[in-house]
Structure 1
């Protein structure tokens, strides 16, 4: 891949690379966002930093989507923190295993480069493709979060997935 991007992880034709704003704009324009929550002009109570990487075709450098992660907390100490990951693929990249591999690469990267021992993800109860991708990426279904997201003016249930560092070793 000779696009000048810094590759963070790659395997089996998929790479995670440092994005530019132009990369993110291109991916956002190419995604139909079927599971995006409703916009809300009110600020959240806690706005953690969101980290992003570009998902690219490792051979051509073509942007296929993006992955992101942000810290979540279950207590005041670092041992009680986890990473919550997400993915958005352009429509043309779906159904080819790209999401599974990108999320697996991200989990491996987070365990290799950070101290946190838990990675989790949430997806809409109707997003069966993402549920399969998360399971194939090594995350376990942990439960349902009732009414956790607003989409189309309706409260939607989300499925919680998680993996511990010890599960990955």
Structure 2
């Protein structure tokens, strides 16, 4: 999808992870398996999982979002994204993806676990995006933006639960 990142809205949301473990000791499989969003919000088909290998730059994810957020009696929206960066540093692990043509949004999302200098662990979702679909643009203030905030907060809580479960 062609877009000008300068015209997108930047958002960064963070949740603290309560643990005495270092980043290298945390259970991070959920992150690189793209099990970030609870399954009542979204399910996904990931190229690397289908091919039984690790995530690579260029891989695609087909997302199925549920509106309202329930797997049953909901409207299903299929969208695609492509991995454009994998972060594998000593203090930061994660990846980012860009939306593909036909996605309800346009932009880039980054999902990252970070160990800050003071030994604190955080999970961060950083986005540059805006509604792409005409209907999403029309209802962005009353529906799209609040729904995106809800989904992001649920993803943060889900990541926190997975990262803290083996404390």
TM-score (norm 1): 0.31
TM-score (norm 2): 0.31
